[in-house]
Amino acid sequence: MNCARGGIIDEQALADALATQHIAGAASDVFAIEPPRADNPLFADGLRFIGTPHLAASTHAGLRRTGMIIGQTVLTALNDIKGSDT
């Protein structure tokens, strides 16, 4: 399972390993080319591969946390600017 970064997995080698049953299955939500093209070898018929969208941060909680971090960063920067004016 790869949910880190696209491109760290050789997708053709993974497809070959799946086709020859050297590994039983694989899953990924990241690809070397985003969005993945229809001719990606991992999408070949008969491979035990699950591809999902890379949306982990798009939950309500994830978006709220991101907004809070951005807001705090802006406030900190504004306070730093205000503090340097005195």
- Give pLDDT tens digits along the chain (86 positions): 887 888 899 999 999 999 999 999 999 999 999 889 999 999 999 999 999 887 766 788 888 998 999 999 999 999 988 877 65
Domain ranges of the chain: 1-54, 56-86
Q: Which one of the listed residues 11, 37, 54, 60 is annotated catalytic?
A: 54
pLDDT of residue 72: 96
Q: Which one of the listed residues 5, 22, 37, 64 is annotated catalytic?
A: 5
Instruction: Enter the pTM of the model.
Output: 0.63
pLDDT of residue 50: 94
pLDDT of residue 45: 93
Active site residue 48: no
Alpha helices per DSSP H over 1-86 = 11-19, 60-84
> Which of 27, 75, 33, 76 lies closest to 52 in space, CA to CA?
27
pLDDT of residue 62: 82
Active site residue 5: yes
**Which SS3 state, helix, strand or coil, does residue 49 take?**
strand
